[in-house]
Chain A
Amino acid sequence: MRNNLYQEMKKFWYQKKPLWGILILFILMYYSLVTSHHNERDVIQLFGASQWTLIILVTISSAFMTMEYRDNTIVTMLYKSSNRFNIYFSKIIVLVLYSVLLSFCGVIFTILEAAFSHQLLTVNVLRALLFNTFGTLLYSVFIVTLSLLLISLVKIDAIVIVIGLMLGFLGATFSNILMSLFHTWSRAIRWNPLNMIYVINQLSDPKYFKYSSLSNLELVLGTVSYAIIFLIIGYWTFKKRLV
């Protein structure tokens, strides 16, 4: 396992993509700043960092798995590892660590941009901002495990990226439509995976409860449970996959 983790770390950093990811995050957040109305809300929402982080993560996660099949390196990895779980889990750990880094950069960039645009960082704003970051981080684990599951199932990274983006941008809306259409079922429907995206904003802002219909604790538990389910199914699919 230590070997696998070490290899994945190395491969990850030698690729230029992760650094590009951080740069793109900065550029997109800067874009949000110049197009915003300079209010507190933008700061709390980290100038859109959550959404951008998810897009970057889906792209990088799926590429991080498909590259092994493109150049046949999967064969070497498989016979050199004692089992397939180590490979799969190492990839997830590296990607989760990367989401931590992205979140950290998101906070730093937010503080810089707030200072740059002369916005006051009150304790309340900072608190809300950190809750949002924590929510984003939880949802990142959900997205990373989901991306690797989708890659194990459909094998083509372009498709996974499209599905990921649709989930990221339209998932919440779709979930709300479902809940309002099937009102009587909404007690069950609120637990659908698309609804978990509210974990990003609801921790800092209870008003989101009226969309999610789940308490903060339920959202956190739901997100973590889905991540574990995705991990298990994803690993199982990966294990069955021929090389």
Chain B
Amino acid sequence: MLSIKNVSTFIEGKKIIHDVSLHIKPGEIVGLIGPNGAGKTTFMKTILGLTKFTGDISIDEQSVTENNHQALRKVGALIEHPAIYPFLTGRQNLLLYSESNSDLEEIISTLKMEKFIDKKSKDYSLGMKQKLGIGIALLNNPEFVILDEPMNGLDIESTIMIRDVIRKYAEQGCMFLISSHILGELQKVMTQVVLLRSGRIILNRSMSSLNQDSSKKYFVQMDKINLVEDLLNHNNIQNQRVGEYLEIDAQNIDLMQNLVFQNGLYLTRLEPEKLNLEEKIVRILSDKEGSNNEE
């Protein structure tokens, strides 16, 4: 269990992370999404005790401070660029941090690194380095893994493979915090989405709640559409004509159906508006803004 409470991070006296709280439970994969400069890397470094911060960070009830990394014993991380010594082979890089070597071969094979692992890493492609960096983060059966933009430089095949690896570790109870500036990159793997902007969390939702039908508009198709339109307008029910459809707010659906039946008309189709993840999030954010403005 990772628990972050009211954390603010300061770099050279400047506040970069503003009062952020976040909790991650075993098996959860949290996507930290935000544009470049939002503070994703700084936030991750803070969790690793590498910056000056205020607030509380604890992993399994043990506090992380700038000077005490005892709580990080079961944490693996890839921050910004893979941390690799170019004069060592991939295997030697792994061995440097490996505690028991029991999971070494497994990591090499699950990340499909057999072909290049015994070559000097200075000759690696960006993708190979990235895989090795992820491998280092996964060493020693971690309980919590931090991956900063892990999909950088990876081709589609590798991206899919990495997603599977992350899921596999999460199924065994490992927690993940993964950052990206592209929402879609993590959509298929994360269980929770956290949006970070200018050092503040502006949204924190589980994917399951986002996947539940949250449609706010329905599309309705019917015979005699002009009659229905008039009827609705007459009764002050907001609607919008879109070709052969009428667009109606969710809360007015029951009212509309009653009206239509009472007048001897009938619907041929009624379907919720389909939004993709990005559209849903944009809508939640704009609603939030609206309600904030009303306050």
Contact = CB atoms under 8 A, between A and B. Distances in A.
Which of B11, B51, B75, B87 counts the most chain A CB atoms within 10 A?
B87
Contact of A79 (B12, B75, B87): B75
B131 to A, nearest CB: 16
Contacts of B281: none
B175 interface: no
Interface in A72-115: 72-76, 78-83
A10 B80 CA distance: 25
Contacts, number: 65
A199 to B, nearest CB: 34
Interface in B70-124: 70, 72, 75, 77, 79-88, 92, 96-97
Contacts of A76: 77, 83, 97, 136
Contact of A72 (B75, B79, B97): B79
Given A16-B87, A67-B85, A72-B82, A79 B77 contact: yes
Contacts of B81: 71-72
A73 B121 CA distance: 13
Given A72-B82, A73-B83, A79 B97 contact: no
Interface stretch (B25-33, B42-50, B262-270): B42-50
Given A67-B85, A72-B82, A82-B68, A14 B92 contact: yes
B67 A243 contact: no
Chain B interface residue number, banded = 20 to 34
Given A15-B87, A72-B79, A76-B77, A243 B136 contact: no
Nearest to A85: B67
Interface residues of A, number: 21
Nearest to B122: A71
A242 B11 contact: yes
Interface string B204-218: 000000000000000
A83 B136 CA distance: 20
The dominant DSSP class at the A interface is: helix
A159 B113 CA distance: 39
A127 interface: no
B87 A14 contact: yes
A39 interface: no
A75 B50 contact: yes
Nearest to A243: B50
B77 A71 contact: no
Given A76-B136, A79-B75, A242-B11, A11 B85 contact: yes
B241 interface: no
Contact of A71 (B67, B68, B83, B92): B83
Interface in A11-27: 11, 14-16
Nearest to B49: A79
A147 to B, nearest CB: 20
Interface of A: 7, 10-11, 14-16, 67, 71-76, 78-83, 242-243
Given A14-B87, A16-B87, A72-B80, 17 more contacts: A7-B96, A11-B85, A11-B88, A14-B88, A72-B81, A73-B83, A73-B84, A75-B50, A75-B77, A76-B136, A78-B48, A79-B69, A79-B72, A80-B72, A80-B97, A242-B12, A242-B51
Closest 8 CB pairs of A and B: A79-B48, A76-B83, A73-B83, A72-B81, A72-B83, A75-B79, A15-B87, A79-B72
